[in-house]
Structure 1
Amino acid sequence: MRVALFVTCLNDTLFPQAGRATVAVLERLGVEVDFPAAQTCCGQMHFNSGYRAACVPLVRGFADTFCGYEAVVTPSASCASMVRHYHRVVDPAVTPPPVYELTEFLVDVLGVTDVGAHFPHRVALHETCHSLRLLKVGDRPGRLLRAVGGLTLVDLAGPRECCGFGGTFSVKNPQTSVAMGLDKAADVTGSGAEVLTSTDTSCLMHIGGLLSRGASPVKTMHLAEILATA
């Protein structure tokens, strides 16, 4: 199987460890991963902000860059949902490649839940809006985490509540975004978790910033980073 990594703009710029961890997990399971250097933004930010025309070259470039791969894996539920649900809305002539969020690929394609990880910490899972409502990943992230050696998965009071980031929403509506984020941060702190994880670093960036400002000891890690531990 020819598999490519779509690292995403945010991860490439601010959280490259999520991309490296994704590759580490896949290679541990015997998957050979390519990294097409021509990849750029999937157009999600432009699309969500109403600049559909600006998405067209990005959507076409994405299809050209990843053409021929049997699977494209990304550590981002939001970017995976953009490609899967909206690239053909932007340009009906484009046929997007098969894109999988990491947990989808591990559970559905490889048929794996135990990736051989060991992480002896109390972990809370933030279920992101895109993963729940567009990709419908269901319990895949939880199943993978429960199979990690030494890990204790703790419950949040509102695991499916939006954190308030919402991409450009947090820029256009900062007060509402922060209020939602503070509610989520309080939930995380009250859970007794040592680490908060998620399938999107964008949400972790937002919540993690608020946790840090509140002097909370809870750390944030992308789910791929936990799965990459050994």
Structure 2
Amino acid sequence: MPAALVDLFVPCFVDQLFPETAMNMVKVLESVGCQVSYNPNQTCCGQPAYNAGYRQESQQVAEKFLNDFAGAPERYVVGPSASCVGMVRNHYGELLEGSKQCGEFPALQRRVFEFTEFLVGVLGVTSIAGAELAGKYTYHDSCSALRECHIREEPRQLLDSVAGLERLEMAETETCCGFGGTFAVKFEPISVAMAQQKVEHALATGAEYLISTDTSCLMHLDAYIRKEKLPLRTLHVADVLASGW
């Protein structure tokens, strides 16, 4: 079977704050036989501008994204953020309506995947050889993964196959963590209260790790955890799958 051709989509958030997560994603993808490429000209998916109401600016970013990831149908675009993948997949059609590149979007839309859904849904991979992490974990369903990309079982399947790792589901796992990009800035008290509730649910399970597909959620939750000096560590799925080998 020929190697899957993957164009790496590294969101600006991951690139600037969590580059090790992107590198771990590459490590895992290559371990299952993917041929991974990276276009250094890529920037943002446009979600911050879009959520803030800057339609024209976000359309310009969307057009740039299409140029940066122009490719043949057999090339996949894979990213470690359900939030950014959801932006591209679900909102670019609206943004690009009436533009010169509107006709190019459907082909790209079919090629864009979040990391875990690509592994499980496209490649049929449900375990990573050598992945090992001792301890108990609980999983946070990000709003974007669950509601925009319909991802729920894929990350759990992969994590449950990691040697030494045991899953403990928390209460209200599908409830928002409170980040929401600029929501955390505009509505800080509400955002912090939502993070507190999520962390308390995670701690109640007895888990040592809080894992998710989205570094944005994890950053928000980790800030609360660190401030309160709580015994819980946040990890992205890619970081877990790349551990132990």
TM-score in terms of structure 1 length: 0.97
Are 1:50 and 2:64 matched, yes or no? no
Query: Following superposition of structure 1 onto structure 2, how do residues 6-45 of structure 1 map, counting pairs within 5 Å?
Result: 6-45=9-48
One-letter code aligned to 2:83: S
2:162 to 137, 144, 148: 148
Match of 2:88 in 1: 83
Q: CA deviation at 1:138?
A: 2.4
Listed one character per residue, the Cα deviations across residues 41-60 of structure 1 (whole Å, up to 9, x for unaligned) are 00001111110110122101
One-letter code aligned to 2:156: G
Identity %: 42
Hey, what's the Cα distance between the residues in 2 that align with 1:228 and 1:73? 16
One-letter code aligned to 1:9: C
Runs of 4+ in 1 over 3 A off after TM superposition: none
Query: Following superposition of structure 1 onto structure 2, how do residues 149-188 of structure 1 map, counting pairs within 5 Å?
Result: 149-188=163-202
Report the 3-state secondary structure (helix = DSSP H, G, I; strand = E; otherwise coil) of the residue aligned with 2:133: coil
Query: Following superposition of structure 1 onto structure 2, how do residues 130-141 of structure 1 map, counting pairs within 5 Å?
Result: 130-141=144-155
Q: Unaligned regions of 5+ residues in structure 2, if any?
A: none
Q: CA deviation at 1:25?
A: 0.4
Q: Unaligned regions of 5+ residues in structure 1, if any?
A: none
Q: CA deviation at 1:2?
A: 2.3
One-letter code aligned to 2:144: H
Are 1:73 and 2:73 matched, yes or no? no
TM-score in terms of structure 2 length: 0.91
Are 1:99 and 2:112 matched, yes or no? yes
Listed one character per residue, the Cα deviations across residues 112-153 of structure 1 (whole Å, up to 9, x for unaligned) are 101121111111110000011110012111111111111101
User: Alpha carbon RMSD of aligned pairs, Å?
Assistant: 1.0
For these two proteins, the number of residue pairs brought into alignment is 230
Hey, what's the Cα distance between the residues in 1 that align with 2:206 and 2:23? 28
Hey, what's the Cα distance between the residues in 2 that align with 1:147 and 1:2? 25
Report the 3-state secondary structure (helix = DSSP H, G, I; strand = E; otherwise coil) of the residue aligned with 1:151: strand
Are 1:223 and 2:237 matched, yes or no? yes
